[in-house]
Amino acid sequence: LKGETAIGHCRYSTTGSSNFKNIQPFLVTHKKKPIAVAHNGNLTNTESLYNRLEEEGSIFQTTMDSEIIVHLLARSRNGDEKKWFCDVLSQLEGAFSLIFLTGETLVGARDSQGFRPLCLGEIDGNYILASESCAFDLTHAKFIREVEPGEVVFLKGNKIESVFFSQKKNKQPAHCIFENIYFARPDSNIFDDSIYQVRKRLGAQLAKEDSVVGADFVMGIPDSGNYAAAGYAQEVNLPLEIGIVRNHYIGRTFIQPSQFLRDFRVRVKLNPIRSVLKGKKVIVVEDSIVRGTTSRSRVAELRKAGAKEIHMRISCPPIKSPCFYGIDFPSNDELIAFKKTVKEISDFIQVDTLEFLSLEGMLSVMKNSENFCDACFTGKYPVDIPKNKSKYLLEGAS
């Protein structure tokens, strides 16, 4: 690639289908000036903004909420660059960490409650942005800080300028707690904490609340369950075994866009080790249960490998409410805990016992727990949720 400044994006579809036209970064030209944008999160006022822009003559090329942002930029009358971005960002509601590339300027912005992470770093005297701090480790960059909720940073070479786009910058933060539980990489530091250490603390707290007697060992479901399993095993002084080998050429199954792909990838992703499992009473630690189908498949494979008893322990509470801020479970129908009791879930996934971490226990191990969004567990949404809750609300519109 030629040039001195670039942005990239690994798409995890939460609005619109996973197809070619919805690939980010999204590029437009405004006044002969190219603008590219990459977006992590979900807007909650997508429909009203879309309808307004369409009435004003905008023609949409994708079914992403992210495209709305570049149309707003193109229509803004502000000549000053900082006011231009602030004018647009102040119209957005919901969750967004954004990176823009316009000319030689890199712009980063975060919603006023900081749902999604956005990290600022430095390498060879120049500034860089990434969703998580682990990206800086891989490039030998120095992590400086997280972009603050409601902040916009303008980066050009070794110069940085910062403004706040909204008076809401002093609003109560609502960091996504599911980033800590599952979504973020364990080698990242976000929301002022180590993801690895958070997950170990979750596992240890889960063990304190547990009642399994006579288990042979503890094992995690790779990879995301391994860290809570380590904390659990350490707390109860049981061996931590590797009972499943992961095929690292397969991606994360939860983030696959369809149930068919999730089921297929579960089968080829994880393979039990029979010599470890045969005849054993096992505590299996998993980070979460969303739909339940993946857990059911994994338990079936552990049974086939000879496990005598399977006691599944989940390092978060039951997920009972959908997310509208950037995690892909946007409807109640997808959530097994919305429809079933813990006992019914246990019967469905066919384990001997099943227990979840309590809400109080989960919050007790989080730094500044009041700064997190836990709506997926409590149904208490910090930002008004959309009336049209469909992930595909723009599919018939463009």
**CATH code, 119:** 3.60.20.10
Same domain for 86 and 222, yes or no, is: no
Same domain for 30 and 135, yes or no, is: yes
For residue 100, name the pLDDT band (cuts at 50, 70, 90). very high
Cα–chain center distance at 257? 14
User: Mind listing the pLDDT tens digit for each residue in 164-176?
Assistant: 997 655 689 999 9
Domain count, the chain: 2
Mean pLDDT of 360-370: 98
For residue 273, name the pLDDT band (cuts at 50, 70, 90). very high
Same domain for 142 and 281, yes or no, is: no
Q: Are 14 and 329 in contact (CB under 8 A)?
A: no
Q: Are 161 and 152 in contact (CB under 8 A)?
A: no
Question: Would residue 397 count as lying in a domain?
Answer: no
The pLDDT, as a whole number, for residue 23 is: 84
Mean pLDDT of 281-291: 97
CATH of the domain at 247: 3.40.50.2020
Same domain for 134 and 251, yes or no, is: no
Mean pLDDT of 336-362: 98
Mean pLDDT of 266-271: 77
In the chain, % of residues over pLDDT 70: 90
Q: Does pLDDT of 123 surpass 70?
A: yes
Which is nearest to 285 in space by CA: 210, 185, 193, 214? 210
Same domain for 127 and 70, yes or no, is: yes
The pLDDT, as a whole number, for residue 16 is: 55
The pLDDT, as a whole number, for residue 398 is: 45
- Residues forming beta bridges with residue 189, ordered by sequence position: 194
Q: Does pLDDT of 328 surpass 90?
A: no
Task: Answer with the residue of higher pLDDT: 82 or 247.
Answer: 82
Same domain for 357 and 216, yes or no, is: yes
Question: Would residue 50 count as lying in a domain?
Answer: yes
Same domain for 222 and 257, yes or no, is: yes
Task: Answer with the residue of higher pLDDT: 22 or 191.
Answer: 191
Mean pLDDT of 324-330: 89
Question: Would residue 14 count as lying in a domain?
Answer: no
Helical spans, DSSP H, in 239-358: 259-269, 274-277, 293-304, 336-339, 342-349
Which is nearest to 66 in space by CA: 95, 86, 90, 106? 95
User: Mind listing the pLDDT tens digit for each residue in 220-249?
Assistant: 999 999 999 999 999 999 999 999 998 877
Same domain for 30 and 169, yes or no, is: yes
User: Mind listing the pLDDT tens digit for each residue in 186-195?
Assistant: 999 999 999 9
Residue 234 belongs to domain spanning: 194-367
Q: Which residues of 336-373 are buried (b: 16+ CB within 10 A; e: fewer)?
A: bbbeeeeeebbebbebebbbbbeeebbbebbeeeebbb
Cα–chain center distance at 149? 17
Question: Would residue 182 count as lying in a domain?
Answer: no
Question: Would residue 183 count as lying in a domain?
Answer: no
Same domain for 231 and 109, yes or no, is: no
Which is nearest to 355 in space by CA: 316, 391, 314, 296? 314
The pLDDT, as a whole number, for residue 169 is: 54
For residue 74, name the pLDDT band (cuts at 50, 70, 90). confident
Same domain for 210 and 350, yes or no, is: yes
Same domain for 235 and 169, yes or no, is: no
Same domain for 106 and 53, yes or no, is: yes
Q: Does pLDDT of 98 surpass 90?
A: yes
